[in-house]
Amino acid sequence: MGRMLLARLADVSEQVAATSARSRKIAVLADLFAATPPAEVPLVIAYLAGRLPQGRIGIGWSTLKDPVAPAGHATLTVAGTDAALTALAGVAGAGSRTERRRLVRDLMAAATAPEQRFLVRLLAGEVRQGALDAIALEGVAQAAGAPPADVRRAVMLDGSLPRVATVLLAEGPAVLERFRLAVGTPVQPMLAHTAKSVADALAALGPCAVEEKLDGIRIQVHRSGDDVRIYTRSLDEITDRLPEVRGVARDVAGDAFILDGEVIALDGAGRPVPFQETASRVGSRVDVATAAAARPVSPVFFDLLALDGRALLDLPGHERHAELARLVPDPLRVRRTVVTDPADPGQRRAAEAFFAGTLDRGHEGVLVKALDAPYSAGRRGRSWLKVKPVHTLDLVVLAAEWGHGRRTGLLSNLHLGARAADGTFVMLGKTFKGLTDEMLRWQTDRLRELAVSDDGSTVTVRPELLVEIAYDGLQRSPRYPAGVTLRFARVVRHRPDKPAAQADTVERVVAGPQSRVV
């Protein structure tokens, strides 16, 4: 198996985008993976989904737009492209702009016309195959002759499709046996759907638990003997940033376990502080001791995924919770109430009262969880439903306008996009409301890092930063591509912890709880 040519990948990327038939996409990808040297599989998966392993490489749109005569023959390999991008990312210091321009030109000159198109889209952040990873998984399964469900399970236990795909394609389906739940290997967390009300959630789920929805950061805490490791929802390790959580995990009277929960900063009265403060505490790597003293955080656990060498994922929720309750003492466990019979008016009232009480205590809503449901790692399961009084959307910042007056020098008015089926983003409106001075400063720094162009009034960015938006409904507007825009959109907070691929979709906005167009 020779090295994979970039031309092949560019062609497949176009074919996948061009067809809406899922089975066709999978077949095209299966052919590609069957021809990919296993070591290059992670790169191929990343490029197809529009991710650069180097992260940001700091080249602007103007550099990418430089016309360079394309090569006549396809010789550029995927591995060669990666090496060129690594070199680009490493350029620093005086003259780096010129040097970067030169390297981009060299790369473009080695590329054929279709490869150039692909590279420009990849580097500008325009390759956005939102659902690509799910389809890539099926493509890999087909190429390896393995049942997709087995591959999915391995990925959810290992946390990494590229890693599973590499060994699967190299060694064959028998290797899937090797992926077992392991302390120290993070699992993709289970996510929730939305319900309009507690009553709807009870009706949909039957016997269930109603839990506080804490407005913090999702964490997964692994312990094996004295070794404690903490991971985010995107499976990044953040053990060193949360010494107090490590301490709590060490004190738990158990030896080997994986806990799922939320970390949150509470004030003296036990009420949550604004989300931004928890997020910046969890996000800060420098001088952790000072940050921890100034803004201590506490973990609150709501699930137990493994205990003493047993995987608990397939147990019904109430059994996992019973194990959790034995392992973790009360204040470290999420508050909840159980509804065994949703037809019983008394229990329904108790659930509503719990929801109201949770909001009174300053939390953002509740999660309603079916008692009999297993833990569907990595999925937005139908058995967890979240209910919040204010409906919000998670949208992607596509661009931002420089502010005026008090906001001069700050990026203010945000252009907001929802996810479309083809992985691109559709602009739904703009807002500069709800932003505090601190949020303005923070977003200006972050958006500058993501900038691809600046015409002096508007900065276009790579579509990577999510913002949570509250709004009062939809309004017809021929100026926006979906024909509607958001009424009174305002920023609730930034969501740097949530990947852009999980932004709300246009369909959901248009069909959602506030879809009535006025």
Ligand X SMILES: Nc1ncnc2c1ncn2[C@@H]1O[C@H](COP(=O)(O)OP(=O)(O)OP(=O)(O)O)[C@@H](O)[C@H]1O
Please, what's the b/e burial string for 222-247 (b: 16 or more CB within 10 A of its CB; e: otherwise)? Answer: bbbeeebbbbbbeeeebbebbeebbe
**Residue 262 marked in a binding site:** yes
Residue 74 C-beta-side C-alpha neighbours within 13 Å: 15
What's the distance, CA 509 to chain centroid?
A: 18
User: 138 or 262, CB closer to ligand X?
Assistant: 262
* 211 annotated to a ligand binding site: yes
DSSP H or E run through 263: strand 256-264
Q: Which is nearer to ligand X, 17 or 334 (CB)?
A: 334
The reply, when asked if residue 498 is annotated as ligand binding, is no
Task: Return the structure tokens found at 204.
Answer: 């949909």
Q: What is the distance, to the nearest Å, from the Cα of residue 432 to the centroid of all Cα atoms in its chain?
A: 24
The Cα–Cα gap between 183 and 347 comes to 38
Of 160, 188, 165, which is closest to residue 176 (Cα–Cα)?
A: 165
Q: How far is the CB of 373 from ligand X (least distance, A)?
A: 12
**For ligand X, the closer CB: 212 or 464:** 212
Assess whether 213 carries a catalytic annotation.
yes
Question: Whose Cβ is closer to ligand X: residue 214's or residue 447's?
Answer: 214
E strands, 329-483, where?
Answer: 336-339, 365-370, 380-387, 392-402, 411-419, 425-431, 451-454, 458-461, 466-470, 473-476
DSSP 187-233: -PPPEEEE-SSHHHHHHHHSSEEEEEE--SEEEEEEEETTEEEEE-T
β-strand 484-487 against 191-194: which pairing, if any?
unpaired
Among residues 74 and 191, whose Cβ is nearest to ligand X?
191
Task: Please report how close the Cβ of residue 357 comes to ligand X at its closest, in angstroms.
Answer: 14
Question: How are beta strands 392-402 and 411-419 bridged, if at all?
Answer: antiparallel
At closest approach, how far in Å is the CB of 53 from ligand X? 25
272 half-sphere exposure, CB direction, 13 A CA radius: 25
Asked if residue 6 lies in contact with residue 111, where contact means CB atoms within 8 angstroms, the answer is yes
At 264, list the tokens.
Answer: 């949150």
Residue 213 CB, shortest distance to ligand X, in Å, is 4
CB of 392 to ligand X, least distance (A): 7
**CA–CA dist 207, 224 (Å, integer):** 34
56 annotated as belonging to a binding site for a ligand: no
Give the residue with the Cβ less far from ligand X, 179 or 355. 355
Q: Which of 25, 196, 213, 430 is catalytic?
A: 213
> Which residue, 10 or 313, has its beta carbon nearer to ligand X?
313
Beta carbon of residue 296, minimum distance to ligand X (angstroms, whole number): 19
Contact of 422 with 432, CB cutoff 8 Å: no
Closest distance to ligand X from the beta carbon of 206 (Å): 18
Point out which residues bind ligand X (CB under 6 A).
Answer: 189, 191-192, 211-214, 218, 233, 262, 302, 334, 367, 386, 394, 498
- Check whether 386 is labelled as a binding-site residue: yes
For residue 456, count other CB atoms closer than 10 A to its CB: 6
Residues 109 and 107: their CA atoms lie apart, in Å, by 5
| Residue 51 vs 213, nearer CB to ligand X | 213
As a whole number of angstroms, the distance between CA 126 and CA 454 comes to: 17
Q: Are 214 and 366 in contact (CB under 8 A)?
A: no
Residue 91 or 395: the one with the smaller Cβ distance to ligand X is 395
To ligand X, the closest distance from the beta carbon of 90 in angstroms equals 34
Q: What is the 3-state secondary structure (H, E, C) of 112-179?
A: CHHHHHHHHHHHCCCCCCCCHHHHHHHHHHHHHCCCHHHHHHHHHHHCCHHHHHHHHHHHCHHHHHHC
Least spacing, CB of residue 439 vs ligand X, in Å: 17
Q: Is 380 annotated as a binding residue?
A: yes
Handedness of CA 398, 495, 294, 215 (dihedral sign): positive
CB atoms within 10 A of CB 186: 24
Catalytic residues: 213
Annotated binding-site residue numbers: 211, 218, 233, 262, 302, 380, 386
Annotated binding-site residue numbers for ATP: 211, 218, 233, 262, 302, 380, 386
